Structure formats: C-alpha cells, structure tokens
Structure 1
Amino acid sequence: MDPIRNPYAPGAGQRPPELAGRDRELEQFEVTLERVAAGRPERSMVLSGLRGVGKTVLLNALRSQAVKRAWGTGKIEARPDQSIRIPVAQAVHAAVREVSHRHRDPDRVDAVAGVLKSFALRTAAPDRKGMRWTPPVDVPAARGRADSGDLELDLVELFTDVATLAGDLGVGVGLFVDEMQDIATDELGALCGACHEISQQGAPLVVVGAGLPHLPVALAASKSYAERLFRYVSVDRLPRDMADRAWRRPAAEEGVEFEQEALDELYRLTDGYPYFVQAYGKVTWDVALGSPVTADDVREAAPDAQAELAVGFFGARYDRATPAERDYMTAMADLGAEHGDGAIATAEVARHLARKPQSLSPARDGLIKKGLVYSGERGSVAFTVPHFGQFLRSR
C-alpha cells in the first residue's frame, strides 16, 4: 500500500493518529481542570509506567487539554545531572506568557515577572552542564520574593504569584514534568512540598509528572505525604479491544480494513505495548498489497519490524551500557527466561554471575542512572523497557 498514506506513527512522544485506551485519564483531567479553576481542591497527577507505553504522549495530551481551556502551561524534561530551578523557571515563564497578554493590569504582570526573574537568578553559579538563564523580561528582579535559595520556599512563592495571576482570568497554571524520576531526591521533596502548600491554599496550579514505574516510590521517599498528594495513574499496555482500535480506526480513514487473524497476530507480537503497536502497524502497512490486511502480511512484515526495533528501540539502549552493565542485563534476561520476565532479585543476579552482590553494585547503579533498569522495591530490579529480556536472549 502507499507508504505516503501510512497512518501509523512510532516515535518518542509522537502522538499516534488514534490515542486508544486513554479516554478515562483524559476525562478525569478535564474534571481536574474545571475543579481547580473553580477554586475547588484537587490533587496533582503522576503517570508511571515502562518505556514505550505512551506516558509522554499522554502527558502532552493532558497539556493540550489545559491549553484549550486557556490555561498557562509549561513543560520540562528532568535530567539526573541538572537542577530543576532553571528548567522550572523556563516552564513557568512560558506559562506566564500564555496568560499575561490577556491580563488588564500590566503592573501586576510586571510584578510576577520580577518574581520569576529573581527565582531564576538565584542560581549562584551555572549548573553542572554550565547552564545559566535569565528570563527575557525588561523588569527588575524582585527582592525578598522567591530568592531565598531554599528551593521549596522559593517554589511556593513563585507558584503562588503565578497562580494568582492566572486566577485573575478564571484559569490556572499547569506544570508538566517528564522523566520525573530523574529529579534529585532533595529537589523532588521541594517540589512535593510546594505542591502541598499550593493545594492547601486552593491556588489554581497543578503539577503533572510522568516517569518510570518506581516514580511513586521515589516520591514517597522524598516526602512522607506524597502518596496522598498526587493521583497516581499506572500507564500500561493496551487491552485487546483498545489495541484493535489503534490499528483499525486510522486504517479505516484510509479505506483499509484488517482481517481478524491479522489483528490476532499483531496483538501476539506486540502484547499491546503502544510503541510496538505503532511500529508493527507501520511496517505491516508498507508490506501489505491491499485491503484487507491479512495475517500473512503481518508475518511477512514482522522480521522488518523486529529488525527496526532491535536497532532503534533496544539496540540504542544496549549500546549505552558498559561491558559490566551488559553482563548484568544478560544475567537478568537469563533469569527472566526461567522465571518469567519481571522483577529479578539482585541476589539471584549475583549468584548467576558467581559474584558477590556488593561487587555488582556499580553496574546496577549505572543501569538505574541510565534508565535501563529500575528498582521498584529493595533487593530487586527489572527492565524499564518491555520485551528487553527477549531482545537480549535473541542476541
């Protein structure tokens, strides 16, 4: 079939033509936006799940909902070696720009811009990446507001002033944080503390975070009340009917149908993981000669899809690991074949490699920092990428 008309879109954070299986989350967030704008109490939200399940896509979709309601929004992607002060300042600046042009009191807008400037400039020196940023606003930095150097206090003051500015217009502010698990524990605690204070004030500001499956554990470790502060949403693979919808609806718009056996084979190969759904759908479309798409088309396309995933999705991650880290992951994959891919006890990995657990700590910690494995509970590890164990065993 015509590859130009191919409707499927595998990509990092790229929204598929049919966002199947996320209706409930989108509807719940609509309620959150209305409640917060009306001054009613509501929790911020945290999305967690493996790589390739569509967390970033959903995060962007939630932000789009806020934009449609004329909220001020900003987004950051956390990094393990970077403080969040400057990224938050940049995101909040974007949110202020989205609401300030509608505000009737320019002096009030300038006052908030001055607070934002003082917050950003409080960074004493460039961070570890040499990053320094000054908001491009022609106002002096405020004194004695959001400039204490205590991140939690500064966030509370910044969020309060920005939320009040948006509240004057009957809307709110949304801060969207991707890769939230990469925020340092002390800064994660500061962000939680600020969210707690803002929610108690009833200020119209929400934080929506997305991260790996251990993000709820990381939040709880940073603040004891974090488990009550957020509404946690586990983003997982698509159930069968939603996966079928993700294949069928975009194809139907192009006048193409799928045989039921083709859908059966696609789901068997993908397990409903959204990234795989798009990847196999795209390659199958290119291989198929016409409508309806058959199971033979899927089987013919499967090696191409697997080869593409082996290079771009799995291989790129494997190549980032050191030899010691690769040995550790290979041991995890071997053990996964015996017990089913999932969480593996670190003690079992040590026994498999005939090593002392302490000697493997650097490899395990390196893999966690690189986002290749995560530790959902003490003494166990699991891959952050679905089917990664299968990929390693096939090498």
Structure 2
Amino acid sequence: MDLRSSPYSPGAGTRPAVFVGRGSILDRFDVALDRLEAGRSDDAPLITGARGSGKTVLFNLMVERARERGWFVGAEEAIPGTQMSALIALMARDVLLEMSTRHRFTDRVRRALGILKAFASVSVAGLRLDINAEAVTGTADTGIIELDLRRLVLEIGEIARLQGIGVLFALDEVHIIPNEDLYALNAALHAAAQRALPVSFLGSGLFPSWQATGAEMADPTMVTSYISRAETLSYERLEPLTAADSRRALTEPAAGEGVRFSNEALAAAVDFCEGSPWLLQAVGAVAWGHAPGSPIDQATMGITLIDVQNRLNRMFFPRLLRSCSEPERRVLASVAAADGHRLHVESLYELLPDVERPRHVIRRLANQNLIDLHYQHFPIEYGEFDISLAVPRLAAFCGPAGPPSTHPR
C-alpha cells in the first residue's frame, strides 16, 4: 500500500494516531493539577519505563494539557553535561516571561526576573541568559545551589498563587541529571509544597525497575530519607500495553484509512511486539509497506515481522549493547534462554559459576535498563529476586549463542 497514507508513526517520541493504555495516568495528572490549583498538596509524575514504552509521548501530552488549562510551563530536555541549575534557569525564564505577558503583578514578575538573573550569574556557568531586568541580589545568589534553587522556586510559586494558576517545570531525559542535583530540586519542591504553592515538576527518563529501597548504592532512583518521606517525586512506571490495547493501537489507525487486519495477522503482531507502543508503530508502518491491500493477512505479517526483527538486529540492538562487557552479554544470553520467563538469581549463578562478582554485573545491566529486577527481599546485595529482559525482542537477538561479541566497543 502507499506509504503516504500510512497512519503509523514509529519515530522515537512521536505521538501515534491513536494513543492507548495510558488514560488513567493522564486523568491522575489532571487531578494533581486541580489539587495544586486549589492549594492542596500533590505532584506530577516522574515517568519511567522500558525503551519504547511511550515515556516522551506521555510527557509531551502532559505538558500540552498543562498549557491548555493556562498553567505557566517551562519545558526542556536534559543533555549530558548540562547543569541542572542551567536547565532550571532556562525553564524559569520561560515561565516568568510568560507571566509578564499576562500584564498582572508586573512589578513582582520584574523582581523575580532580577532574582533569576542574579541566580544565573552565580549558579550557572557558561550559559548566556538574556534577561531584560536589573539583577536583584541577596535572595537566590548565595552560591549554595540547594538554598538558591529553593528561594527561586518559592519566588515563582508566590507569583503563580497571586495569579491563581500553577507552574510546571517539565524535564525530559531526567535520568541524565546527577542525584545530588535531583536532591536539590526535591528540596525546592518540598519547600513549595509546605507553603501550598502551585508548583510541580514533571519528569521523564530511564530508571531501573526496582523501587526505592533505602540503599542508595543499590538504587539510583533513591533519594535521601528526608526527601523520600516528602514524596515530592512520584515515579510512574509504564508497563507494557495489554493485548487489547495493543490491538487497538494497530487496528484503529488502519480503520481510519479503510484497512483491516486478519485475526491471524493481528494476533501474530501483538505477540511479537510484547506490549511495546514503539514496536507496534514500527510493525504497523512496515506491514503497510509490504501489504498489497486490505486486509493485511498472515502471510504479509510473517514477512513484516522478519523484516522488523532484522532491522532491530542490524541497527538497534548493536548500538544498545555496544558497551556491554562479556560477562554482561553472558547474563543477557542466560536470561534470554529462559524463553521470556523470569529467571531466579540463584539459577543464574548456577548457569554462570565462573562470572566474577555476578551481582555487580547484574547491577550494571539494571543501571542500563537492559534487565528488570523483580524483588522478593531488599536490597540487591542480600535479597532474592527474579530477572527478566527489559527490552522487547532482545531475547530473539541474543538467541541460544548470546549477543554477538563483534559489536563495536
């Protein structure tokens, strides 16, 4: 069929024609904004999940929803090597400039811009931040990032409360940010929550599958015990789509173009994609190109799935695993050999008796979000847990012999 009419969007972070399976999370986000506007405590989520689970799509939808209801939104994407203070400064400038366009409390907004200018001059290195205001010193320019960030956020939150609307700082790829910077952000958000200010933080990024355990070295999503109790960041892990939602993601866009799938083709596609929204879009797009017309039948789907797996094997998985050590590849191969089932950690040790410090190998793979850990007891050093692959179709790539060892290192 003509690819120009394909309704599928397989690009990373590209919104699909039909968005399925995450409606309850969006509804909960709306509730959080309602509560914050009413002066009640709540928070936006920090969205995490496997690669291709739709984190960025959901993140962008939430940003759009906040803007539609009139919230002041500063949104950025974290880039390796960029200071958290620089990202906050950029988002704060966007928020304050938007506040200034509404022509209310202009003196207060001008003062906040001056505070931001002083903050940037002390806490942000190498960033050109064009702010048409005189620097206001003595508030957020001590050089102590935790203190300055808290005072800046409180100043902005107070103006938002005066205007009767909220502020959302939104940061994609937040896993790039060092833990100590997240601690400072948490402290600032907690201070705003204590004052019932309508300020929230929306994040999206890759984090390991374990929950907060109290063991910081074992858990990179861990925050300090005080901040953990404050609960200013709420992790929302995106699980694979159900079979019913997976079918909708394929059939509803096609139906809009007058195309349908045979039952056999649809079942094969849903099974192949393992609930991954990104893979569903990729399979739909490739099937559209292979199919001579409607319906997309089982034979066409068979060709499609071989094609998609080959593309993953050539272009996606080699890059994904290029930094894996030989012990890490052997762990992946052993988990893949479990045929999609969880493998208990003790069984893994029996399969790989010669791998040195296996728990460190497991931790490194979890930190790369290549495996999921399913705990029975905490923490990782002492606990019992099962292991599964975190990336759809990775088991097929690893195969009986394991991932190829000729990947670029």
Task: Please give the TM-score of this superposition, normalised by the length of structure 1.
Answer: 0.87
Tell me, yes or no, if structure 1 residue 186 matches structure 2 residue 188. Answer: no
Residue 177 of structure 1, CA deviation: 2.3
| TM superposition outliers: structure 1 runs of 4+ over 6 Å | 363-366
18-27 or 329-338: bigger deviation:
329-338
AA in 1 matched with 2:59: L
CA RMSD of aligned residues (A): 2.8
**Length, aligned pairs only:** 383
AA in 2 matched with 1:168: L
Is contact 1:372-1:384 (8 Å) kept? yes
Q: Which runs of 5+ in 1 are unaligned?
A: 127-131
Identity of aligned residues (%): 30
AA in 2 matched with 1:391: F
Residue 105 of structure 1, CA deviation: 3.3
234-243 or 214-223: bigger deviation:
214-223
Within the candidate set 147, 150, 168, 2:141 is matched to 147
Describe the superposition over 1:260-319 as per-residue Cα deviations: whole angstroms up to 9, x where unpaired.
222111111111111111111110111111112212221111122112222343222223
Secondary structure of the equivalent of 1:248? helix
Tell me how far apart the structure 2 counterparts of residues 81 and 345 of structure 1 sit (CA, whole Å).
35
Secondary structure of the equivalent of 2:223? helix
Tell me, yes or no, if structure 1 residue 328 matches structure 2 residue 331. Answer: no
Residue 66 of structure 1, CA deviation: 0.5
Tell me how far apart the structure 1 counterparts of residues 259 and 156 of structure 2 sit (CA, whole Å).
49
- Residues 1:142 and 1:223: Cα distance change in structure 2 (over 3 Å): farther
Tell me, yes or no, if structure 1 residue 166 matches structure 2 residue 160. Answer: yes
- Residues 1:223 and 1:61: Cα distance change in structure 2 (over 3 Å): farther
Q: Structure 2 matches for 1:187-202, cutoff 5 A?
A: 187-202=181-196
- Residues 1:269 and 1:45: Cα distance change in structure 2 (over 3 Å): same
Describe the superposition over 1:129-173 as per-residue Cα deviations: whole angstroms up to 9, x where unpaired.
xxx113211212221122122222222111111222233332111
Q: Structure 2 matches for 1:15-54, cutoff 5 A?
A: 15-54=15-54
Secondary structure of the equivalent of 2:123? coil
- Residues 1:136 and 1:384: Cα distance change in structure 2 (over 3 Å): farther
Residue 46 of structure 1, CA deviation: 2.0
- Residues 1:374 and 1:3: Cα distance change in structure 2 (over 3 Å): same
- Residues 1:201 and 1:312: Cα distance change in structure 2 (over 3 Å): farther
- Residues 1:139 and 1:185: Cα distance change in structure 2 (over 3 Å): same
Secondary structure of the equivalent of 1:43? coil
Tell me, yes or no, if structure 1 residue 92 matches structure 2 residue 92. Answer: yes
What residue is the counterpart of 1:283 in the other structure? 286
- Residues 1:353 and 1:313: Cα distance change in structure 2 (over 3 Å): farther
132-141 or 304-313: bigger deviation:
304-313
Secondary structure of the equivalent of 1:76? strand
What residue is the counterpart of 1:129 in the other structure? none
Tell me, yes or no, if structure 1 residue 157 matches structure 2 residue 151. Answer: yes
Task: Please give the TM-score of this superposition, normalised by the length of structure 2.
Answer: 0.84
- Residues 1:336 and 1:115: Cα distance change in structure 2 (over 3 Å): same
62-71 or 347-356: bigger deviation:
347-356
Describe the superposition over 1:201-230 as per-residue Cα deviations: whole angstroms up to 9, x where unpaired.
111111112233437533433344426334
Residue 103 of structure 1, CA deviation: 2.9
Residue 238 of structure 1, CA deviation: 0.6
